Structure formats: C-alpha cells, structure tokens
Structure 1
Amino acid sequence: MDIFILGSKGIPSNYGGFETFVEKLTEKKVSTEIKYHVACMSDSYNEFFHNNARCFNVAVPNIGSAKAVLYDVLSLKECYSYIKRNKLTNCTIYILACRIGPFLSYYKWKLNQLGVRIYVNPDGHEWKRSKWNKAIRWYWKYSEKLMIKNADIIICDSKGIQNYIQREYAHFHPVTDFIAYGADLERSKILDPLILQDWIRKNKISKNGYYLVVGRFVPENNYETMISEFMRSTSNKDLVIISNVESNDFYNELLLKTNFKQDNRIKFVGTVYNQELLKKIRENAFAYFHGHEVGGTNPSLLEALASTRLNLLLDVVFNREVGENGALYFSKEKDNLAKLIASSEQMDETDIEKLQALAYQRIAENYTWEYIIGQYEQLFETIAAVSKSNPSSNQTKGAIEV
C-alpha cells in the first residue's frame, strides 16, 4: 500500500514535532507492505529517498502567513497527480494539521474516484493560539471543521483532542482513532563531553541546580506564570529557559509584567539544536516546568518525562492525560507554583525517585516510538485490507471498531 504524508516540512527532520514524527515513522518502519511518500517544502520539485521513503519536494513561493496553506494544497495536488499518473491502488493520504479545509472537499471528490482514503491529524487547538489575529483564528476553526467533515479517519495524538472532536463535530459522525506521539527512552550519548561542559560554563549553572523550561516562546505556554511564580519562590536554584526568544511584543510585555531581568536566577539561554545535548540538559535538571495548555500530546513533555527526575506540569487535561501519577501539578493561581517549588525542594530523594520511575514507566508502556509506529502500521494495514477485500463499500468505521 502507498501512504502519502503531507503537512510536515519534510524529512530529514529539523526536530519540529511533525517532522520528527515523520522521520521516526519512516526510519523505524517494520511492515513490508507499506511504501511511504513524504511531501517536503522546498524551492524545487526534485525527488529523493530517505529512510527508504520516496520524498518529493514541493516548491512554494514565500507569500507570508499563507505559505503553509499553499504548501499543503500544492502537496495534495501533487499526490493526486502522482496516484493517477501511476495508476496506483490502495492509497492513503495522511494530512498533518487542519490548514486546508476549504480546499479539501474538491480534492476529496477527485481522490474518491481513485479509491484514495484521506486521514487527518488535527494536532491541537491551533485556533486558540494567541499569535493569530481574529481573522486567522476564524480561518483555523473553519478549516478544522471542514477537515473533520471530509476526512475518512481522524487520528488524534491526545484523548482530550479525540473527545473534543467527537463532541464538537458529533453531527458529522467522525471516525476517530487515538495514536499518541512518541518519545525516545535512551539515555543521552554526547560524543564530546566538552560540549556539555562548555554549555554549563557559558550559562553559569550546575548539575541538579536548575529548573528547566523547553518550548516555543508564546503566551499560551504560560511563561508569565512560571517566571513570576519562580521569582516569588525562595529557591536558590536557577530557572533555565530554552526557547526561540525574540524581542517582540510578547517579550516586552512579559518583561514589563515580571521585571525578570532583575532576578539573576532567570536565564534565557536560547535554543539548543543538538538533541543529545538537550537530552543531557534535561537529565541534569533538578526539575522540569511544563506550562503548555493548548491541546495535544506535546513532544517536549514526553521527552521530559522520559529523562528528567522531577516534572511539574500545568494542571490541564492534556498534561494530566500524559503525566498521570508520574508528575506534580500546578495551577495558574497566585502562589500555587511558588509553594510547589518549595515543597519539591523539601522532598526526600526516594520520593523523587518514585515519581521518576512512574514517569519513565508511563513513557515506556505507552509512548515509545516502536509502540506508536506499531499502532500506525496496524491501522494502515487493517483499513487497507478491509478496503481491498470490499472496495465498493465504506468499511472504515467497522475496521476501526474491530
């Protein structure tokens, strides 16, 4: 069977969430029945192979914020042309994110003529993100609605998102499945220990002497709560923030509200693209803060639970779903996190080790890439087999329920 994946920027991955997912899906493929085709954003239309997947470049002009939408539309168009040109049968197009809802119904009709199935991963609540203006938020929500309406299966990486889809779009009777994002359980393997030493020296921190935050520098990740609460605490540890920080309106507003530059414990250290170094930084932290609240299974949370000794998570359904009893939780109420910081530093080492073991077990049993990819391959093969045996009828719902 041929599986076409579009919506990521492509592979080899540059460590974005969807890009890493596609990298792992192709790299760790077990099934001999599946052939992957991956759309890659580029300035050319070349083809190449990576992880034995056929990767096809899609040239996209730089048209600003609509570039991602155009990229997905052009990728979908290319998928249709390739399938038709090569007379392929038993094909699935898997679309990551809900950017092209207004355009999907046209292509769905054309793809249905070729017997092609359409799967969609809705990601999180993109329409809630504060970086978008009202018009773009409206488009995201409207596009999500049309993507759900026209998809054969919606694959959710969070049970919270799955419940939202079933509730919000019940009138479409959506067929959903839950397959989470994955994580790597291996310990860090830094080939040159001087890389870590230089990073620690440069940022003036010490092993087990800092709290860590890793994530996009956006308001919905609750940097204001984490920074202001840490500043209220009496901790003698540092707060190390790894993020793509820019001097923009959010940064200036955050500085005005918290005056974080006056607290030398607060350390914005930029981004870390060396993944083994980043894993080692997680392993050496005293604890990890996770303030994300806009939907989905967040990759940085999985990575923290797999490698950080103690995890303090914002108490929202998506984080509870992943962390369960392997983490501690805080609210956005004043002094809540500050008190949790104080109590965390009073914990016995054995209690911290118990939480660490529970977090690691949670990832090992439910979120390893091998497990996640096994679920995907089982889904792809089950639906393909049902469709092949009875091509004239829609067997998607029955196959999922089995």
Structure 2
Amino acid sequence: MKIAIIGTRGIPNNYGGFEQCAEYLALGLVKKGFEVIVYNSHNHAYQEKQWNGIQIEHCYDPENKLGTAGQFIYDLNCILNVRRQNCDIILQLGYTSSSIWNWLMPKKAIITTNMDGLEWKRTKYSQRVKRFLEFAESLAVKYSDHLISDSIGIKKYLENKYGAVSTYIAYGANLFQNNEDIVLKRYSLIPFNYDMLIARLEPENSIEIILDGVVKSYTTRPFLIIGNHNTKYGNYLKLKYSKHKQIQFLGSLYDIEILNNLRYYSNIYFHGHTVGGTNPSLLEAMASNSLICAHNNDFNRGILGEDALYFTNDADVAKHLINTKYEDCSFQSMLAKNRKKITDLYDWNIIVDQYIEHFSSIVNK
C-alpha cells in the first residue's frame, strides 16, 4: 500500500503537533512495510529526498514571503504533486488551507482527513476568518472519502453538525524513562522547584490567565514558558510580565529529550489549551510523569479524567502554585494512572496499528 501524508510543514518535526504525528506515523508505517511519502515545505531544514526509508517530496512554499496566503499555495503545490504519485491513500492532516483545493485530489486515491480541532472557534481569529474556517471545515467533510477524529468530542461534533461518521484515532506518545537532571543544569534549574507550560503563545491556550496566576501567587519559583514568543502576542506577554523575573520565556524547543526532561522535573506542568482534540503536548506531559494542572474543559477532562488538577481562572492557578508540591505522596496515584493511559491507549505503536486498521478497512471498502 502506498500512502501520502500531506498538510504539514514536513518531517523531521521542528514545528508542532501534526508534524510530530506525521513523523511518528510515517516511521511506524515504513517499519510495517508500507510505502510512504511525506510532503515537506521547500523551506524545511531537512533537504534530502529520503529520511529513514520515507520518501520526502519538497514543494514550493512562499509562506515566508506571503504569510498565511503562502500556505494555500503550498497546499496547492502538494496536491498537484500527489496527483502524479499513484497513491492508494492520501492522509490529509488538517484542512485549513487545503480543503479549497480538495476537488483537485486524484480520483483514484482514497482521501482520509484528520479533522484536527475546532479551528473556527480559536479566539485569535477575526469573525471573517472564523467564517472562512468553518466553510473550509465543511469542504473537508464534503470532499473527503473518510474522516478521522483525534478526540471523542470532535467525533460527536462532526456527527451532530454534519451527520458525518468518523474514525476515532488519538495522537500518540511514548513513555519517557531516560530522565537525566543534567538538562536542568543548562537552565540553572533545581528538580521539582520550577513550574512550566509548553504551548503556542495564543489566547486560547490560557497563557495570560496562567501567568496572571503566577503573579497573584507571589511564588518565586522559576516559571518556564516554552513556545515561540517572537510574535505580536508573545511580545505583548513579555512586556506585560517584564517586571516578574521568575517568568522566563525560553522560546521554541523541539528536542524531545530536553522537553521530556524539563517536564519530568517540573513541580506543576500547566496545560491551558481550550480548543481542539487530543493535544500532543498533553500526552507527552502524561508520559513524562508530570503533575498536570489543566484548563477545565471537556477536551482535557476526556483525556485526564480525575488524574489532574484543574483551573478556570487566575485565582485557581495561584491556589495550585501556593499549595501544590510534586513530591506530595497524594499525587503519586494520579501520575501512575496517567502513565498507564499512555501504555494502554496512546502508545505510538498502538496509534500506528489503529491507522493501519483504518487504512486497510477503507481500501477493502
């Protein structure tokens, strides 16, 4: 079976969740004997045509010159290229800038789309952009042969809004075990004496609520923010909290070993995402034995259940920062249950097998 993966900036991952999904999934599929093509931006740091047995197709991507409009051109170029590849299945990760071109997809290939989160609900977008994203979502449903939901919440949403059947397949994570506190020395950190978050610095990820809580708590422990802060919103946050030296903006980090060690040795790991399905960084925090304090919503509760702390406002954040110590034995059961969820439900080998089962079933149909 020949499978193409489109809709990401490419692999190896140095950007975000869908890129990570593409990387782990492609590696797993190749190991199981599948022929796999992954589409990369021509600006991607990796410029070779093969990576660990995966065929890499580089397509022209003018996003660095045109901004968001460049994403639409890049997706069009990927679709025009995949028309020549004679694939059995095209796995489309997301739909934001590709669904308007889906009518150009090759007719002989089966199109299955991972529908991501509810993009049109993100607060960073204007009403005009939100209307377009909702339209793009409807196009993805219309032109895809099959749909994948990465959370039960998204699956129910697609059923209720479009009457569309989708296959539930979550993101994956690997249980982290190679913890080394040598990573902490690089950042002058003491084990379990700092708190952190990893996220894109966007309003719907509750960054400001969390940092307001840090200020309100009067704690002096370092608070690490990992994510690209060289944006309009990032600059706003840096200016607002510039007088609070415990708040440290570390920028983007993609080395999974460094990230896992920082998560492993944190006191509290905050997860503020309010929109979307199963978030990769949340699963990785669970896999890294982190004590998680998550925004209280159905998406996060669907993954964590009762095995986390929750917040809805900055007062909740402050309360947890003041009263919570990772080494408190009352939290150990929560940590163990989250690790078990990773091994039983979200291990990448399990997720890859679920994708293979999905691909086999739709080809047989």
The TM-score normalised by the length of structure 2 is 0.90
Alignment partners' CA distance in 2, 1:136 and 1:366: 35
Alignment partners' CA distance in 2, 1:348 and 1:18: 33
For residues 238-279 of structure 1, the C-alpha deviation after alignment (integer angstroms, 9 at most, x for no partner) is 322112112625632x467xx423333222222323321121
- Contact in 1 for aligned 2:30/2:36 (Cα 8 Å): no
Aligned partner of 1:242 among 220, 226, 231: 226
* Percentage of identical aligned residues: 31
In structure 2, relative to structure 1, the CA distance for the partners of 1:296 and 1:221 (3 Å cut) is same
In the other structure, the counterpart of 2:246 is: 265
Aligned partner of 1:141 among 131, 134, 142: 134
1:300 Cα shift?
A: 0.9
In the other structure, the counterpart of 1:364 is: 343
Aligned partner of 2:263 among 282, 285, 290: 282
Task: Note the aligned Cα RMSD (angstroms).
Answer: 2.4
In structure 2, relative to structure 1, the CA distance for the partners of 1:216 and 1:274 (3 Å cut) is same
Aligned partner of 2:214 among 215, 227, 230: 230
Corresponding letter in the other structure for 1:38: V
In the other structure, the counterpart of 2:73 is: 70
Alignment partners' CA distance in 2, 1:265 and 1:60: 39
SS in structure 1 of the partner of residue 29 of structure 2? coil
Alignment partners' CA distance in 1, 2:55 and 2:234: 40
Pairs within 5 Å for 1:20-169: 20-29=20-29, 32=32, 34-42=34-42, 48-61=49-62, 62-83=65-86, 91-98=88-95, 99-104=97-102, 106-107=103-104, 111-112=106-107, 114=108, 116-169=109-162
In the other structure, the counterpart of 2:315 is: 335
In structure 2, relative to structure 1, the CA distance for the partners of 1:142 and 1:247 (3 Å cut) is closer
1:340 Cα shift?
A: 2.9
SS in structure 1 of the partner of residue 157 of structure 2? helix
**Larger Rg computed on CA atoms:** 1
SS in structure 1 of the partner of residue 229 of structure 2? coil
1:194 Cα shift?
A: 5.4
1:322 Cα shift?
A: 1.2
Corresponding letter in the other structure for 2:40: C
Unaligned segments of structure 1, at least 5 residues: 388-402
1:69 Cα shift?
A: 1.7
For residues 141-199 of structure 1, the C-alpha deviation after alignment (integer angstroms, 9 at most, x for no partner) is 111111111211111111111111111212xxx22001000112132366xx7554122
SS in structure 1 of the partner of residue 224 of structure 2? strand
In the other structure, the counterpart of 2:359 is: 380
In the other structure, the counterpart of 1:251 is: 235
In the other structure, the counterpart of 1:177 is: 167
Alignment partners' CA distance in 1, 2:157 and 2:73: 27
Alignment partners' CA distance in 1, 2:289 and 2:176: 12
Aligned partner of 1:293 among 270, 274, 283: 274
In structure 2, relative to structure 1, the CA distance for the partners of 1:58 and 1:247 (3 Å cut) is closer
In structure 2, relative to structure 1, the CA distance for the partners of 1:136 and 1:210 (3 Å cut) is same
The TM-score normalised by the length of structure 1 is 0.83
For residues 105-148 of structure 1, the C-alpha deviation after alignment (integer angstroms, 9 at most, x for no partner) is x325xx33x3x211111111222233333333222111111111
In the other structure, the counterpart of 2:294 is: 313
SS in structure 2 of the partner of residue 28 of structure 1? helix
SS in structure 2 of the partner of residue 181 of structure 1? coil
In the other structure, the counterpart of 1:6 is: 6
For residues 196-229 of structure 1, the C-alpha deviation after alignment (integer angstroms, 9 at most, x for no partner) is 41222xxxx3211111111111111111110111
In structure 2, relative to structure 1, the CA distance for the partners of 1:372 and 1:32 (3 Å cut) is closer
